[in-house]
Amino acid sequence: MKKMLKSYEHSDLSLPAPASWRRRAMLVFLYKFFWRAILGVVIGLRYLGVKSNVPDGPVIYIANHNSHLDAISMMTVVPRHRLHLTHSVAAQDFFGNSFFRKWSMENLVNAVLISRKRGANDVDPIEFLDGLLRAGRSLILFPEGTRGVPGSMGDFKRGVGHLASRHPGIPVIPIYLDGLYRNLPKGRAMIVPFGGNLIMGEPMVFSDEDVDQITSQTQKAIENMAQQLRDSNRI
């Protein structure tokens, strides 16, 4: 761990500092009261399959990605005592291009910003995220890498496979997000109440699977959840 921390000293990436009690209280208020009310009451987001007994300790949450509301909605299902230890992984080139965006993501969303284009002297983002997991933090990942076409899901990149293969004891929890792209469409700044669904799947624990197997299995899990929702809507 010390060796890993030293490698970050010459980079913009650094492990987030321990949260003060004020910051912990702010995150609980934001996600367990404010955003949960906005999403559940105003927007009409339905929470399906969400369990109170989420495994304690580091977790890798993964989901499909169509809206800037995705990370916020996923933070509302993180156990309150783990909120300050859970970091959404966001794009540095988009959210780090202004002081307000960067400050908001780091302080209000508790995100870590990762460059999607790696230079010769940059820290490998996988190594940085690996360091967060080793430090006991949880991650929120969008394996597609970017917001895709509204209502559809692109192929997963291999980042989740690399991280889960390095940490076979850490559960990967798949979440399917349905309809949030209608509530905050790409390119819009105003939230509209069109409803939607957040469906939490069963934790997936990997042992000796390789990177490609993990990537494929996690994508299949979310695709199956999407298909089950479509089937239930037809019924």
139 touches 87 (CB < 8 A): yes
Three-state DSSP at 82 gives: helix
pLDDT of residue 186: 67
Instruction: Give the pLDDT confidence of 36-66 residue by residue, as tens digits.
Output: 999 999 999 999 999 877 888 999 999 999 8
pLDDT of residue 191: 77
pLDDT of residue 147: 67
Pick from 137, 170, 169, 160: nearest CA to 64:
160
pLDDT of residue 56: 87
pTM of the model: 0.89
Helix (H) or strand (E) holding 46: strand 45-48
State how far the Cα of 204 lies from the Cα of 221, in Å rounded to an integer: 9
Q: Which portions of the chain are predicted below pLDDT 50? A: 1-11
pLDDT of residue 14: 74
> Residue 113's beta-bridge partner residues?
90
pLDDT of residue 96: 79
pLDDT of residue 13: 62
**Extents of the domains making up the chain:** 2-234
Query: Is 1.20.1510 the CATH classification of the domain at 2-234?
Result: no
Residue with tokens 């702010």: 26
